[in-house]
Structure 1
């Protein structure tokens, strides 16, 4: 299993070409790192484990406090359901495209609104 370099940045491929500059600039300013084309395999207390969507290479990431999953226009509530039923996480929210499939701007706006409530 490979450890991803903490400074590795991969451009988010699903963002519209007219929005990408603004989005990447803000992400860079906020210290966000994007790793598209990885499938979340497991969340452990000290790390997250991923597998490449192109092959079978696995990756382990450590040292961060948030996970944001983006799946385009397909609702993906499974992680929310698993965390909610597990009971170890005190507050779990579902937002953006995971709640209702939508475009980036609407999903981001909804995610920000839910994040401000927490």
Structure 2
């Protein structure tokens, strides 16, 4: 019933499809290369953003049932969605923060200076 939420869900689906196509293309292009390229950092950032957005949309769609951590008032799927959302937040930290990945992108692709050395 919420057109804004519906639009954001569709946009997330489109972002996911575009990322999957990009991953397939990058895999084909990388055949024969010695190691991962800077494209890996770009895809890592994009994938994390898409996954976090999807988790947040899921919780928004669930309404107050998306607030549970434990208890019989919440279904297993609801608890799993909340824990998945929180886990996704942690994943962007232990997987290498977006700032670190963006610094790698700026140095390897754009040839910009290391931003962490100027501080």
TM-score tier after normalising by the smaller chain length: under 0.3
TM norm structure 1: 0.25
Q: Which has the larger radius of gyration?
A: 2
Q: Indicate the structure whose relative CO is greater, using CA pairs within 8 Å and at least 6 residues apart.
A: 2
Bigger strand share? 1
TM norm structure 2: 0.25
Bigger helix share? 2
